[in-house]
Amino acid sequence: MSETPKIKHFLRQIIEEDLAAGKFSEVVTRFPPEPNGYLHIGHAKSICLNFGLSQEYGGRTHLRFDDTNPTTEDMEFVQSIQNDVRWLGFDWQDHLYFASDYFEDLYQFAVKLIRDGKAYVDSCNLEEIRAMRGTVTEPGQPSPYRNRSVEENLDLFARMRAGEFADGAHVLRAKIDMASANMKMRDPLLYRIRHAHHYRSGDAWCIYPMYDFAHCLSDALESITHSICTLEFENNRDLYDWVIEHCDPPAKPKQFEFARLNINYTVMSKRKLMTLVKEKHVSGWDDPRMPTIAGMRRRGYPALAIRNFCEQIGVAKANSMVDFSQLEYCIRDVLNYEAPRAMAITRPLKLILETYREGQSESLEAALFPDEIGKPGTRKMSFSKTLYIEADDFMENPTKNFHRLVPGGEVRLKNAYTIKCERVEKDANGQITALICSHDPNTLGKAPEGRKVKGIIHWVDAQTAVPAEFRVYDRLFLDERPDTVGEFKDSLNPDSLVVLNGFVEASLAKVDAGSHFQFERQGYYFADPKDHSAKKLVFNRTVSLKDGFNKAASEEINTPAKVEEVQSVVKARTYEEVLATKAENQVPFFQTFHNDYGLSVDDADTLSATPELAQFYQTMLTSGAGRDAAAKWVVNELMRILKDIALAALPFDASKASALVQLLEKGTISSKIAKEILSEMVETGQDPNAILETKGLKQINDPQAIRALIEPLLQQNAEKVQAYRDGKDKLYGFFVGQAMKASGGKANPEILNQVLTAMLSAS
């Protein structure tokens, strides 16, 4: 399984420019968690970014605990954070630091500021300070203590440290500008008094530095070159630079901001996650439903999948919401390759083969991986008279599209025989207790001859199968944005965990905790690292096998694309002809695109023109766009743009291109709007969803709304309407054009046609 190809985002660009300009000889970044909770998937993005950049460009990344707040921090979190960073695949070597180790240095920097007249002790309380800060439109008022002498400030600050004053009696503030347009610059707090025990420094200190003072100086003390943080710190950058300028440490780090990761159907603030743990809505920080790294690890998410996800979502300057299915896509992508196949029955239904001899048993061989994975290995599966199948795979009164086992019907047992359901056995309450079936002995591992049997189901041998518990997880919240629905806990999904008791095939009797499997037709499962043992088998469902995206893609392939068929008749270049023209590094892409993805020869040709373009297209797919839709868009739209701008110079990456195509696929936008958004993206590099939001470009799909647009048009053009009704068919185009124009190009063309036709024919 390979890593996702790297896309050149703005931070990579900045670093390359800095290195080219000789500003730094190596890249030094840091990951600075506050040890007040477990890390979550948002932190994973920051970890992958910081460690990833120093790996790529040569350098190092420090793990620094940003532990300047004595009341919330804890050694348990220091441990868990280190575990999680290591597990994600990153190594800080001997660069493990604690901001609390810098307390003395920080104190000395503060003293320097006081000496230089750049800081003062303010004896107002926090409320007074807040009241005097002013607003965005009005300047603040200077504190009456602002002009204390250097001597008095030095004396008071020393006594603050010595513990002479109660909490809140004084603070140390920077002396900057009470009228600054940036509120952060209106004499911000640097130190506060807190008589609290610190988990590392104990009671050595009763004054603690504020984030804005401690963070930048910690960066400087460690010679960090690129201090990367999330967008909410954008306004703090001026202060960051001010502190560095006036404290004048030898190293001068710079701050850069990127958009934080948000994922739907979950919450990511440590405070909220802490609430879930404390109130026991989940079993702990590592509950497999939690968006924590510990939870995801326990659920069976591979570290590589999380890294790939963090690369695919890209690094941007605008906040956006990422779809949970994108993360799940990355997980399936890795596990498809990693997880051996096995059979498990989660809701058992007994099946007795009356044609199979009592006491007889066969050992059948099954592959560990399907052919397309190209990994060797087999396992033995026993087969005998009594089996278990999934209760869902049988329907006594089948619905129309049910192709599995039904009374009197046939089905194939995967890797074994074709069987037929002869009778159903029931208990006194009418509950089905067993299916009595017959088997066709000539069908071992192959389709029966002369008749078509559609369904294939999985099974286990009742004689040898091993009991197992299955923990089937679903999303923890019902709302897409649980944060915005009032009390976030009200959105908890009551069915986020369903425990089922069933069986797994005998080859799994002794598997270790922490092993991955694909239970065929069910999903990817992971032997729980805590509760699984040889005595009690426990499997967590990591992720189901299918999602909506795959369904949409396969439906699309089944609908014939008429226009393209005609075109290919005109051009009619054969696969062999084009293949002969391809360079060596284009061939594998060309073949994959045509043979595996089913693209036309011409499209496959265009998309494999360079390996970079081919990878761009593939990343669009891994980001969720459908094969055909993405191909069509690249060939028709992007190629037009690439006449003027080189691919590497595009201000947006493949995941954004993919997002645009997905908007098209979902029918959120028309192709005309997609063009508009694309040209905006070429200008600004913005996310298509953000452009859509700000410009209100959503497609109009509501027939009522379209009708309302058309009505006045028809009134204004009553003569033309009459002429049309009298047989001047050609006027139809005029009406479409006018209606489209009235909708600002936003009407869904299909619906517009339907509505317009109906309205014109009614008289």
DSSP 427-459: -TTS-EEEEEEEEEGGGTTSPPTTS----EE-E
**Residue 52 C-beta: closest distance to ligand ATP, Å:** 13
Give CA–CA dist 384/439, Å, rounded: 11
Q: Which of 13, 125, 149, 269 binds ligand ATP (CB under 6 A)?
A: 269
**Window of 40-48, 54-62, 361-369, 563-571 that interacts with ligand ATP by CB under 6 A:** 40-48
**Residue 34 C-beta: closest distance to ligand ATP, Å:** 4
Q: Is 264 in the site for ligand ATP (CB under 6 A)?
A: no
Q: Is 544 in the site for ligand ATP (CB under 6 A)?
A: no
DSSP 562-574: HHHHHHHHHH---
Amino acid at 406: V
Q: Is 268 in the site for ligand ATP (CB under 6 A)?
A: yes
Q: Is 260 a catalytic residue?
A: yes
Q: Is 34 a catalytic residue?
A: yes
Counting Cβ atoms within 10 Å, is residue 344 exposed (0-12), middle (13-18) or buried (19+)?
A: buried
Q: Is 595 in the site for ligand ATP (CB under 6 A)?
A: no
- Nearer to ligand ATP (CB atom), residue 285 or residue 519: 285
**Residue 647 C-beta: closest distance to ligand ATP, Å:** 27
Catalytic residue, candidates 12, 34, 347, 489: 34
Q: Is 422 in the site for ligand ATP (CB under 6 A)?
A: no
Q: Is 295 in the site for ligand ATP (CB under 6 A)?
A: no
Characterize the bridge pairing of strands 378-384 and 418-426: unpaired
Q: Is 261 in the site for ligand ATP (CB under 6 A)?
A: yes
Residues 6 or more apart whose CB falls under 8 angstroms from that of 741 comprise none
Q: Which of 60, 148, 226, 270 binds ligand ATP (CB under 6 A)?
A: 270
Q: Is 255 in the site for ligand ATP (CB under 6 A)?
A: no
Q: Calculate the alpha carbon distances from 150 to 113, 153, 155, 239, 663 in Å.
A: 10, 5, 9, 22, 61
Give CA–CA dist 480/322, Å, rounded: 11
Give CA–CA dist 741/76, Å, rounded: 62
- Nearer to ligand ATP (CB atom), residue 32 or residue 348: 32
Q: Is 45 in the site for ligand ATP (CB under 6 A)?
A: yes
- Nearer to ligand ATP (CB atom), residue 262 or residue 592: 262
Give CA–CA dist 106/154, Å, rounded: 15
Give CA–CA dist 654/613, Å, rounded: 10
- Nearer to ligand ATP (CB atom), residue 29 or residue 606: 29
Site for ligand ATP in 5-34 (CB under 6 A): 32-34
Q: Is 317 in the site for ligand ATP (CB under 6 A)?
A: no
Q: Is 43 in the site for ligand ATP (CB under 6 A)?
A: yes
CB 504 within 8 A of CB 343: yes
Q: How many residues bind ligand ATP (CB under 6 A)?
A: 15
- Nearer to ligand ATP (CB atom), residue 229 or residue 330: 229
The 3 state secondary structure assigned to 475-502 is CCECCCCHHHCCCHHHHECCCCEEEEEE
**Residue 250 C-beta: closest distance to ligand ATP, Å:** 23
**Window of 17-25, 38-46, 332-340, 701-709 that interacts with ligand ATP by CB under 6 A:** 38-46
Residue 85 has phi, psi (to 5 degrees) of -65, -45
**Residue 292 C-beta: closest distance to ligand ATP, Å:** 10
Q: What angle do CA 629, 329, 681 make, to 5 degrees?
A: 45
Q: Is 175 in the site for ligand ATP (CB under 6 A)?
A: no
Exposed e or buried b per residue across 596-623, where buried means at least 16 C-beta atoms within 10 angstroms of its C-beta: ebebbbbbbbbbbbeeebbbbbbbbbbb
- Residues 210-229, one symbol each (x = binds ligand ATP by CB under 6 A, - = not), give -------------------x
- Nearer to ligand ATP (CB atom), residue 221 or residue 273: 273
Total Cβ atoms within 10 A of residue 190: 26
Residue 52 tokens, joined: 């990833």
Q: Is 42 in the site for ligand ATP (CB under 6 A)?
A: yes
Q: Is 300 in the site for ligand ATP (CB under 6 A)?
A: no
Partners of 423 in the β-ladder:
436
Q: Which residue is nearest to ligand ATP (CB)?
A: 42
Alpha-helix runs per DSSP H in 572-684: 575-581, 587-591, 601-607, 611-622, 627-633, 639-642, 654-665, 671-684
Q: At what angle do helices 718-725 and 749-761 cross, to 10 degrees?
A: 80
- Nearer to ligand ATP (CB atom), residue 32 or residue 626: 32
Partners of 432 in the β-ladder:
426
Q: Is 319 in the site for ligand ATP (CB under 6 A)?
A: no
Q: Is 46 in the site for ligand ATP (CB under 6 A)?
A: yes
Q: Is 545 in the site for ligand ATP (CB under 6 A)?
A: no
Catalytic residue, candidates 260, 317, 481, 672: 260
**Residue 39 C-beta: closest distance to ligand ATP, Å:** 8
| Share in percent of the chain as helix, strand, coil (round to 5) | 45, 20, 40
Give CA–CA dist 16/7, Å, rounded: 13
**Residue 214 C-beta: closest distance to ligand ATP, Å:** 12
**Residue 260 C-beta: closest distance to ligand ATP, Å:** 3
- Nearer to ligand ATP (CB atom), residue 33 or residue 253: 33
Q: Is 482 in the site for ligand ATP (CB under 6 A)?
A: no
DSSP 9-31: -HHHHHHHHHHHTTS-SSEEEEE
Site for ligand ATP in 575-594 (CB under 6 A): none
Give CA–CA dist 248/246, Å, rounded: 5
Q: Is 69 in the site for ligand ATP (CB under 6 A)?
A: no
- Nearer to ligand ATP (CB atom), residue 229 or residue 351: 229
**Residue 65 C-beta: closest distance to ligand ATP, Å:** 9
Q: Is 481 a catalytic residue?
A: no
Partners of 436 in the β-ladder:
352, 423
- Nearer to ligand ATP (CB atom), residue 603 or residue 687: 687
Q: Which of 82, 141, 180, 230 binds ligand ATP (CB under 6 A)?
A: 230
Amino acid at 566: V
For tokens 């965990």, the residue is 497
Q: At what angle do helices 731-742 and 703-716 cross, to 10 degrees?
A: 120
**Window of 154-162, 264-272, 295-303, 379-387 that interacts with ligand ATP by CB under 6 A:** 264-272
**Residue 69 C-beta: closest distance to ligand ATP, Å:** 10
Residue 735 tokens, joined: 């009406």
**Window of 43-51, 88-96, 636-644, 676-684 that interacts with ligand ATP by CB under 6 A:** 43-51
- Nearer to ligand ATP (CB atom), residue 297 or residue 594: 297
- Residues 349-378, one symbol each (x = binds ligand ATP by CB under 6 A, - = not), give ------------------------------
Give CA–CA dist 624/627, Å, rounded: 9
**Window of 21-29, 154-162, 260-268, 319-327 that interacts with ligand ATP by CB under 6 A:** 260-268
Q: Which three-class secondary structure state does DSSP give residue 194?
A: coil
Catalytic residue, candidates 270, 297, 299, 307: 270
Q: Is 743 in the site for ligand ATP (CB under 6 A)?
A: no
Amino acid at 180: S
Give CA–CA dist 313/527, Å, rounded: 29
Residues annotated as part of the active site = 34, 260, 270
- Name the residues that contact ligand ATP, by CB under 6 A: 32-34, 42-43, 45-46, 66, 229-230, 260-261, 268-270
